[in-house]
Amino acid sequence: MLLDFHKLGAWRWVLTAICAVMSLFLLLPILFIVALSFGNSRWLIFPPPGWTLKWYEELFADPRWIGAALTSAKIGVIVMVISVVLGLLASLALVRGTFRGRAVLRAFFLTPMVLPVVIVAVALYAAFLRLGLNGTLPGFVIAHVIVALPFAIITITGALETFDPAIEDAAILCGASPWEARLRVTLPGIRHGLFSAAIFSFLISWDEVVLAIFMASPTLQTLPVKVWTTLRQDLTPVIAAASTLLVALTVLLMIAAAVLRKGKSE
């Protein structure tokens, strides 16, 4: 009854309407900035009096924006590699290990995810002041890995749990050493999980604001830091242009993920 869409009667329309309104609520702000980024009003009048590409020109003409984007990409890639490798090792321990206290260890690995980022940021800021890591690339990388790792662990653990260890055992009896079996059988078997973990880790690093604000220095900042500092001065349409490019990137990654998922279900 209530769980059969076609038997809901009039309620069906109520539910559909709520869904539609909520979808518009989620979608409109995103479409709105995309539109504004092409509008020629510096004061963000909507609908804009005319259309222009000048905000994009301004964005690409400013080496600070380009530099910040490149920094973000560089940090994102390093964070991605480190958190997938550490996440894989940790997941092997959590899923295939036999030691006691695995549940506790898993909860421990996930705490950076549940703790408010601001606490992690402030704590690391203090530690890095002492270690001289503030405003350095390693400082950024370490901070981002701390928050990306839990997501990598969740994703890889999930993939590993559905991969039958008997398959690994079979490879070993076939003559593969334990490491050979992991590399040639288990890794390809969970490759979808590893790819998702990589995408997640990159996106988390790429979008990280709070940690980045605390890690940044005038000479080294990521894209979100640049957006943040600009936002605090004024709401220039250049940010709309930058945001639109970020939305485009999100859409691309979502399509990539969808294609991946399709490949997996085949």
Partner 1 sequence: MTPFLHINGIRKTYGDVVATDHVELSIAEGEFMTFLGPSGSGKSTTLYILAGFQDPTSGDIKLRGQSILQTPSHKRNIGMVFQRYTLFPHLTVGENVAFPLRVRRMGQSEVAEKVKRALALVRLDGFEDRMPAKMSGGQQQRVALARALVYDPPVLLMDEPLSALDKKLREEIQFEIRRIHQETGVTILYVTHDQEEALRLSDRIAIFNKGKIEQVGTGPELYANPATHFVADFIGDSAFLAGELAGVAEGRAGLRFADGSTVAAVPLHGRGIAGQAAELMLRPERIELSPEPGPEGASLPVTVEDLTFLGNNTTVSARTGWGGALSVRLNFGHPLSARIARGDRLHIRWAPEAAHAFVRG
Partner 2 sequence: MFSAATRRGSGLGFAMSAILLLAAFFVIPVVFLLTRSVTEPQLGLQNYAALVGSTTYAKVFFNTFLVAGVVTLVTVLIAFPVAWALAIMPGRWASVVFAIILLSMWTNLLARTYAWMVLLQQTGLINRMLKAIGLIDQPLQLTNNLIGVTIGMVYIMLPFMILPLMGVIKKIDPAILQAAALCGATKWQALTRVLVPLAAPGIASGALMVFVMSLGYYVTPSLLGGTANMMLAELIAQQVQSLVNWGMGGAAAFLLLLVTLGLYAVQLRFFEPKEGR
Which residues form the interface with partner 1 (CB under 8 A)? 164, 166-167, 169-178, 180-181, 184-185, 188-189, 191
For 210, the token pair is 């709070």
Work out how close the CB of 98 gets to partner 1 at its nearest, in angstroms, rounded to a whole number.
11
The window from 59-67, 83-91, 154-162, 189-197 that contacts partner 2 (CB under 8 A) reads 83-91
**Pick 19 or 170: Cβ nearer partner 1:** 170
Among 73, 77, 253, 260, binds partner 2 (CB under 8 A): 253
The window from 31-39, 53-61, 63-71, 154-162 that contacts partner 2 (CB under 8 A) reads 31-39
146 forms part of the interface with partner 2 (CB under 8 A): yes
22 forms part of the interface with partner 2 (CB under 8 A): yes
Q: How many CB atoms sit inside 10 A of residue 84's CB?
A: 25
Work out how close the CB of 191 gets to partner 1 at its nearest, in angstroms, rounded to a whole number.
7
260 forms part of the interface with partner 2 (CB under 8 A): no
163 forms part of the interface with partner 2 (CB under 8 A): no
Among 53, 70, 123, 259, binds partner 2 (CB under 8 A): 123
User: Which are the contacts of 206, defined by CB distance < 8 A and separation ≥ 6?
Assistant: 72, 73, 76, 223
Three-state DSSP class for residue 51: strand
Three-state DSSP class for residue 220: strand
User: Which are the contacts of 38, defined by CB distance < 8 A and separation ≥ 6?
Assistant: 48, 51, 52, 53, 55
Please work out, in degrees rounded to the nearest 5, the angle formed at the alpha carbon of residue 21 by the alpha carbons of 20 and 22: 90
Sign of CA dihedral 129, 132, 135, 138: negative
Is 153 within 8 Å of 94 (Cβ atoms)? yes
251 forms part of the interface with partner 2 (CB under 8 A): yes
Q: How far is CA 44 from CA 34, 37, 41, 48, 91, in A?
A: 12, 9, 5, 7, 48
Q: What φ, ψ does residue 220 adopt, rounded to 5°? A: -130, 110
What residues pair up with 217 in beta bridges, in sequence order? 220
43 forms part of the interface with partner 2 (CB under 8 A): yes
The window from 39-47, 54-62, 73-81, 189-197 that contacts partner 2 (CB under 8 A) reads 39-47
Q: How far is CA 5 from CA 10, 21, 24, in A?
A: 11, 18, 22
Three-state DSSP class for residue 82: helix
Among 84, 210, 215, 220, binds partner 2 (CB under 8 A): 210
**Pick 138 or 263: Cβ nearer partner 2:** 138
138 forms part of the interface with partner 2 (CB under 8 A): no
The window from 55-63, 154-162, 171-179, 189-197 that contacts partner 2 (CB under 8 A) reads 171-179
Work out how close the CB of 150 gets to partner 2 at its nearest, in angstroms, rounded to a whole number.
10
Work out how close the CB of 263 gets to partner 2 at its nearest, in angstroms, rounded to a whole number.
18
93 forms part of the interface with partner 2 (CB under 8 A): yes
**Pick 50 or 175: Cβ nearer partner 1:** 175
